Structure 1
């Protein structure tokens, strides 16, 4: 059974505001892989576990029609509110039951989401809906981030890692799949034409306020907030204060650089 952790309206609104699209390096990898196996124009893509649509929107330039699905009505509501693109639609649907026809899809994507799925059932559904030679792309970033600002990067990253340790008791067991770079998910892909690309580092400029918001989208923080709301809020206030003191600034609108390590699984259905 798929894991459901992103149901609340407040969580969904934070997701819309602070989660980011797959980095350009990952996008290039996906579309180069696909271009070697399918001819343009591409007809139909499905982004499963789409959340509030950040990973869905990157597909727009490449496909005539795009569907984003998520098991959370709150996430789909946020995605739909932000949608002004005519070839994109969203619907509430579990990853293991995608409401499209057999052999109708050129590309299935799942970005920072597949570890929550019932993976064997999901792969069976992918096989049902993909066209022959259609592609599957699963991406995630590893939680072990670095925070950079001038000559204070080591200190800032230490604060972030200390925060991760504090949140660790609230970490869902499925996050282990992310920490191991989706190795288990890769091994379970039923196709022989598949590849796993890791150690793709992305340097992402963002405001400190946005980074603090990103932390609050993490499933472990949301679980912390659910069980100990006062301590969770104090944790964010304390973390913000420590960051500002180390940086020597007074405003959370100061830009930092977050470095992410990414992994991407790619596969193609046989002819």
Structure 2
């Protein structure tokens, strides 16, 4: 999975949206203590930076050193490169001991994981019974009818053949992803709960975002330029239709959150 984002690591760090404070406040309200977070698949650290405002320490890991190069340095965030297949000994050395972590977070990455093995690590690390795991994904952005029509075709038809199969879990809003954790206090299910990202974007930023996609890189490696002159022209025409260079962009977010409970 890490190799999918190495060559466009800079575009990834620039193009990917940050997450709303409302999301982190909701997650933090469900963890009894706020000492240690493990942010898995941190990429360039978008989630880790926000978590650092609410927790004393954040350990943010990724299997791609290139991604971590573009992560913003924050005093209470420790960025660590891990092997693709974490062993229990590596977990203990780099993350923590059994029942030592308050929260495990995974932002836009869990669909790439070997979930049975990952969940074993999570259940070992989280404090019992109220340690929390929170995983979320965001789906394609909504801008306006004209741009959305071009965008949706580009996502499904042009880029569609180049998405890896786990991407389907994102399209399904994490509703179908395996998530064997108890509902957190105050909730009667473990999600998905819906939030949204709002940001202002110009056309260049939109193209930077598209180039951050794993499907874009996969197509490029196969000699296919998804952003051909024709596609760029269609995007540009739709974008400029209302005469505004900057637009409000909304990304829907879908959160799965649960607690580890008392394990037998």
TM-score range (shorter-chain normalised) is 0.7 to 0.9
Write the distance in 1 (CA, Å) between the matches of 2:102 and 2:126. 6
Q: 1:239 and 1:30, CA in 2 relative to 1: closer, same or farther beyond 3 A?
A: farther
Write the distance in 1 (CA, Å) between the matches of 2:230 and 2:49. 35
Say which of 119, 129, 137 aligns to 1:140: 137
Mapping of 1:195-234 within 5 angstroms?
195-229=190-224, 231-234=225-228
Secondary structure of the 1:131 match is: coil
Write the distance in 1 (CA, Å) between the matches of 2:192 and 2:5. 31
CA deviations on 1:104-134 (whole Å, 9 max, x unpaired) are 1111100000000001111111111111211
Secondary structure of the 2:255 match is: strand
Any conservation in 1 of the 2:39–2:59 contact (CA below 8 Å)? Answer: yes
Secondary structure of the 1:263 match is: strand
- Which residue of the partner structure matches residue 112 of structure 1? 108
Scaled by the length of structure 1, the TM-score of the pair is 0.83
Write the distance in 2 (CA, Å) between the matches of 1:123 and 1:107. 13
Say which of 219, 238, 260 aligns to 2:251: 260
Write the distance in 2 (CA, Å) between the matches of 1:7 and 1:202. 22
| CA shift for structure 1 position 245 | 2.1
Any conservation in 1 of the 2:59–2:80 contact (CA below 8 Å)? Answer: yes
Write the distance in 1 (CA, Å) between the matches of 2:22 and 2:99. 28
| CA shift for structure 1 position 232 | 3.1
1:24 corresponds to 2:18: no
Q: 1:96 and 1:24, CA in 2 relative to 1: closer, same or farther beyond 3 A?
A: farther
CA deviations on 1:182-236 (whole Å, 9 max, x unpaired) are 1232x4324465510344344332222112111111111111111125x3352xx
1:175 corresponds to 2:167: yes
Write the distance in 1 (CA, Å) between the matches of 2:111 and 2:211. 19
Q: 1:137 and 1:88, CA in 2 relative to 1: closer, same or farther beyond 3 A?
A: same
Secondary structure of the 2:51 match is: coil
Write the distance in 2 (CA, Å) between the matches of 1:102 and 1:238. 55
Q: Which has the higher strand share?
A: 1
Mapping of 1:29-68 within 5 angstroms?
29-34=26-31, 38-39=32-33, 42-68=34-60
Please list every run of 5 or more consecutive structure 1 residues that lacks an aligned counterpart in the other structure.
148-152
Write the distance in 2 (CA, Å) between the matches of 1:183 and 1:94. 28
Q: 1:156 and 1:4, CA in 2 relative to 1: closer, same or farther beyond 3 A?
A: same
